[in-house]
Each structure stands twice: as C-alpha cells, then as structure tokens.
Amino acid sequence: MTRVKISAGILLFLVAFGVFSGVWMNAGCRRIQRDIGAVSAAARAGEDCTESAARLTRDWDRFRGISVMMIKNDRIAEIDRTVAQVEYLAAEHGSDELPAELTELWHMVELMRKNELPTLTSVL
C-alpha cells in the first residue's frame, strides 16, 4: 500500500509540475509579447523606444533565467540574439530594421509558447 501511495504522489507531482510549467511558460511568453508590442507601438509613433526595449530585455533576462531548465538552449539563444538586436536597433532612433526584428521576435516567442505547452497529444 505504501508503494502505491508513493507512486501516486510522484505521479501527482509530475502532473502538477507540468501544469505549473505550462501556466508559467504561457504567462512569461505573453509578457514578452506585450513588451514587444510596446516597443513596436513606440517605434511606429516615432517616440523614443529605448525604455520599452530595456524593459523587454529585462523581462526576457528574467524569463530566460528559469526557462533554460525547460527549453532547448538553441531556441533560447536565437531569441536572446534577436532581443539584443532589438535593443541595439531601438537605440538607433528611426531604424528601418526594427519593425522586421520585432515581428520576427514576436513569432519566435509565439512558436516557443505553442511548442512548449504541455498538451494531451504532446504527452501521449
């Protein structure tokens, strides 16, 4: 009977960790995408978007610190490179490449969010 309880406890822990990591991943990706939208809106309005880009970098660094345990390193490295590029382009006011980099970054984060969420089909 004890073995059954221990096994059930381990299984419950794994399911709870999967649900928690999915919720955390979804919230983190949505926060990053909101930051990307703020940088994009500031750039379209012709405003200084360095503060928004710094917030994006800060949120990404916080998210990356924990997500390295759950996501492949090459995917994180690609997004990390693009975030650094966005911050650099935001410092160059009026850069033509900024909207393209922001769009690419948004899609990379969306792809990561969709691929890393635990679903019934990905578990089975």
17 domain residue, yes or no: no
Enter the pTM of the model. Answer: 0.83
Q: Quick one: pLDDT at residue 120?
A: 62
47 domain residue, yes or no: yes
* pLDDT above 70: residue 123: no
pLDDT digits (tens, 9 = 90+) for 57-100: 999 999 998 888 777 778 888 999 999 999 899 888 767 889 99
For the residues of 26-70, what is the DSSP string, one character each? HHHHHHHHHHHHHHHHHHHTT---HHHHHHHHHHHHHHHHHHTTT
How far apart are alpha carbons 91 and 13 in whole angstroms?
45
18 domain residue, yes or no: no
> Average pLDDT of the chain?
86
14 domain residue, yes or no: no
1 domain residue, yes or no: no
Element (H, E) at 22: helix 2-44
Which has the minimum average pLDDT: 27-31, 57-61, 112-116?
Answer: 112-116
